[in-house]
Each structure stands twice: as structure tokens, then as C-alpha cells.
Structure 1
Amino acid sequence: MSDHATNAATETFLAYRNLLFTVAYEMLGSAADAEDVLQETWLRWVKVDLAQVQDQRAYLIRITTRQSLNRLRSMKSRKEAYVGPWLPEPLLTAPDVAQDVELAESVSMALMLVLETLSPTERAVFVLREAFDIGYDEIAAAVGKSPAAVRQIAYRARRHVDARRPREAVSSGETRAALESFRRALESGDLQGLLDVLAPEVVLVSDGGGVKQAAPRPVISADKVARFIVSGIGKAGVSLTGELTAVNGSPALVLRVDGEIDGVVVIRVEDARISGLYYVRNPAKLTRIESEIPLTLR
């Protein structure tokens, strides 16, 4: 490829890089794997004869989708061997992500967890259709299915997701208020304060990846979750502080132990109380919470 063609390919790739990263991240739930997919996409893109490409954006999304599907299938064995629950990698996001309702919903921890229950092809089809509004013909070319088959997969995936996603949208303000109450109770070790903000059937899922201590399975009920948290703080004998931030387009807490980052807490709120607590402690998943990651659906 000539220098001129390489420069043109580079300019186009960089123009769509944030979009392609968002596509890959929503399909994989892992920023590290999404970055690898972008590298693989780039290596294939620079070999393409741009004069033969009518829609460069669509072509790049197609390459990214195929590489993401390959990565998804290879990740299956990694997740099966993973120690304890697996949670998506949290991303520090800019305020404009929270202001974009569609984008914030598409990268929310709640939706990302639901997407984990889909097959690789279902996840790819759902993401491309629902988040990025890609046409069925283009999705078919990306996933190697007929347009008719893609329509059926999209319908099935949508029903699956709708049955498992939160029933009601919760405002950022309501989530922030619940997080603030949780933070105050957490920092003071206030058992009753935790019980007051937790829903009766709250579920705590913690991801230590076998590197940091975490519950080996979900902890269920306000009493068990509150006592698990308070006893953990007491046994550690440390200074625990929480910092309100924005992760995956929603309010979240970065927890620090003796000033060092220990993990990220993302919550699910229903009826003004916390019904889901997702605590990512695996250090490998905490590398992107100190600098904002640009995401886009366009």
C-alpha cells in the first residue's frame, strides 16, 4: 500500500476509532479485549483497497464485529476458568455520556450483565441493531447470516433482554442519592444505615478475579449483604473512603483503602433503594477508571 493510501486509511480509522471501540466494548464487556480487537481491525483495514469500499464506516464496523465475535468465542473458556463471578470492566466516562440517554443505557452495567446471557451471535446482532441502528442487511454481512435469520435473532435477543433488564428507568439523581447514602454508611461502618438503603432482596456480586478477595458467589438479602460488608471492613481494620464518579454513563463509587484504589461499585436502584451491588476489585479491570474513555454511538 502506498504512503498516500496508508495515510487515508489511517485518517478514516482514527475518525471512527471511538465508535469502533464502543462497538467492541459493548460486544465484549472488556476494554482490554476491545483494544485488541481494534488492533486486529486496523491490521485488516490497511490491507483494504479503499477505492472498492462504498461505505467506509459500515466496512469498519463489519471488520470490528467479525473480530469481536472471534474474541467472544475465545473468551468463553477464559470465563469458565475465571475464579468467582465475572463482571464487565468498568470505564470512567465523561459527563456527556450520561447526558446521552441511548449511549448511557447501551453501556450501563445493568445491560452489560444481561448481554452476558446471550450467545455471541445474539449479542452481536442485538448490539448492532439496538445500540447502533445498523440495518439488517449490513448486520447479516457482518455476522455471516441471512437477513431473514438476523431478523429472527434480533427478535429473540430483544425479548430475552427485555425480560431481564430493569423494569423502570431510574434518574441519575436518584442513583446518586442512593450511592451517597450507601457511601456514608460504608465509611462509618453503620450497619443500620446500610440496611436502610438496601432493598430486602438486594444482590451483591463481587469480582476479585482470584487476585483480590471477593465473595465466591452472589450474596443475597439486605441483612446478609450489610453484615458481609461491615464484617469485611472490621476484619481488614483499614480506612475506607468512597469517591462519587461516573462509570459506564452512570453514577458509581471508587472505593479506596488507606488511600489506594480498591475497587469500583456500581449499583442498580429500584424504588429508591439499592437492589443490585456490583463490586469490581480485580486490578486488571481497574486500569481505566482514572482517565475518561470516549464512547459514541455515531
Structure 2
Amino acid sequence: MFPRRPYIGRHPLRPAPTRRNDPLEEDPESQQLESQFYPSIFDVLKVRHLLLWKTKPEGLPAEVVDMIVDAAEYWASTKAKLDDSRRIQKDVDQAVLCTSPLCYTENTPDTPTPKLLPHRTMHPCRKIVFSILSHDQGGYSESRLAGPDHPPAYEGTYTWFDAEVVHNAHEPSQKSAIDEMLDPSNKSPRHYAPDDPLLLPRGNALQRNRARMSRAKRHIINWHYLDDIASDSSEAGDIERDSGRGRDTLNGKKVREMEIGDSVVIWARARFPGWVNYVDEVSVRVYWAI
């Protein structure tokens, strides 16, 4: 059992909004992500070597080194990014992005078969950071949300994003299925019955758009392996209401259960006539322990 990590700044979902087709306004958290140092596999291995063998008098035990590396969050990572913008119409679900299989190299012309990378344990994933810049079709004015009686920003929204874990994504059979899933020509709407779990955004939603707001907003969603917020708690309810993040995504379970070779697919969704999900940017960075 992992120790519980205090809930301090874990869910940074309050960056400044941006306007579609306008120059981006100040976005401190996005800029911080871009300027942050991301250790390479070599960097992590070098630090582990120094701690294991170069500290006096006899080096540190491996268990202590693991604790130091995890406390410092000095982990290797890979990033996947959507290269273009998308417009998701009503009753259409599109897979817009897929991460590399956990702890495997990406498929490239030079390495068509992914190779296993250094890692620690069978569940090495430690953190997943999603960055989404998007909005819906609009309809509310900014002034409506500025008054004391304004409706909650994420109440009654029908455009949102989900994250799906695909197991054994490094295997050739799964790669073909993922490629078909990501094909942007798959835009046929489907009928959703009233009891369909995908009809409406639910507790497992990665991120909802603000309702009826044409001004794009960047949401940065952090999944951490030490997250431990129960979905039925008042804290989870507050986060869901104030940030648009699903209450079932706050317990860290998906991160802790990620296995070697798993990928994360991001789905963009929209429902009902008149609703459109404008997807400007999506990126995902996955961290794992070595």
C-alpha cells in the first residue's frame, strides 16, 4: 500500500483562459510545463548510480534510493501531442491522441518493433499530466459568469474528454486497433440510448468543457499514483463542480494499475443538437520510475 500524499496543489485546474483564433493570453501553468526540466532515462540512471555507489561511506541501500527518487519525482517521461485541431460534432466520439506504450520506445521507421526501456517494478507509472485547450459552441456571455448568481461553469455541459487505458498497446494486434481508432475519418455519429454509459459525462470523465463558453480554456489535469480522494467525498464533489474533472479520477487507481505496455487514449465527445467540442490542443506526459 502506498502512503497517502497530502492534497496540496495536486489539481492545478485554474490557468488563465484563452480566446480561440486570438493570440494566447498569459497561461502560467502551461508555460511552467514547457519550461520545466524533464529528466531523460540517462539522467535518472546517473543519479541512481551516484546515490548507490558514490555516497560515503558505502553508498545508500537501493530501497532508500527508490524513496529519494520518488520523493523528488525524478522520473523518466514521454510526451504525446495532438498535431492539429479538431471539431467534434454532436453524437460523435473521436480518439484524438494515444500515448506511447508504457516503458517502450515509440514505433519509428528505424525501430518498427518497440523496445523495452529501463523501469522499476511491474507497475512503474507514477504520474500522468494532461493538458487540454478547448471550448464548446458558446452561447453565454462573459458577463453572465461574472455575477454573483452565475451558474456553475461546468454545470449542464455536453462536450467533454475521457481517458481510456489500452492494455498491451505494444503488441502488433493492438497497434492496428489503435491506428484504426485514431483515424480522423471515423466521424460517423451513432445513436446513444438513455442508459448508454457514454451518453453523458460521468464521474470517470477526464475533463468537461465549461458550458456554453466560446472562449477556450486550458485545463491541466494531474493524475498521481499517491492520489487518494474518495469519489463519494465532499472534496471530490467540490473538485468536480469547480474544475470539471470527474470525481472518480481522484483516487490514483488508474495510475497505480498501469502495466508495462499500456497506453492512454484520449477521447473527445459531444452530444445533442447544437453542441460542438472545439479541440485546439491536447498533450499527455507519462512518468515512470526507474
| Bigger helix share | 1
TM-score range, shorter chain: under 0.3
The answer to which structure, 1 or 2, has the higher relative contact order (CA under 8 A, 6+ apart) is 2
Give the alignment's TM-score, normalised by structure 1. 0.26
Give the alignment's TM-score, normalised by structure 2. 0.26
| Bigger strand share | 2
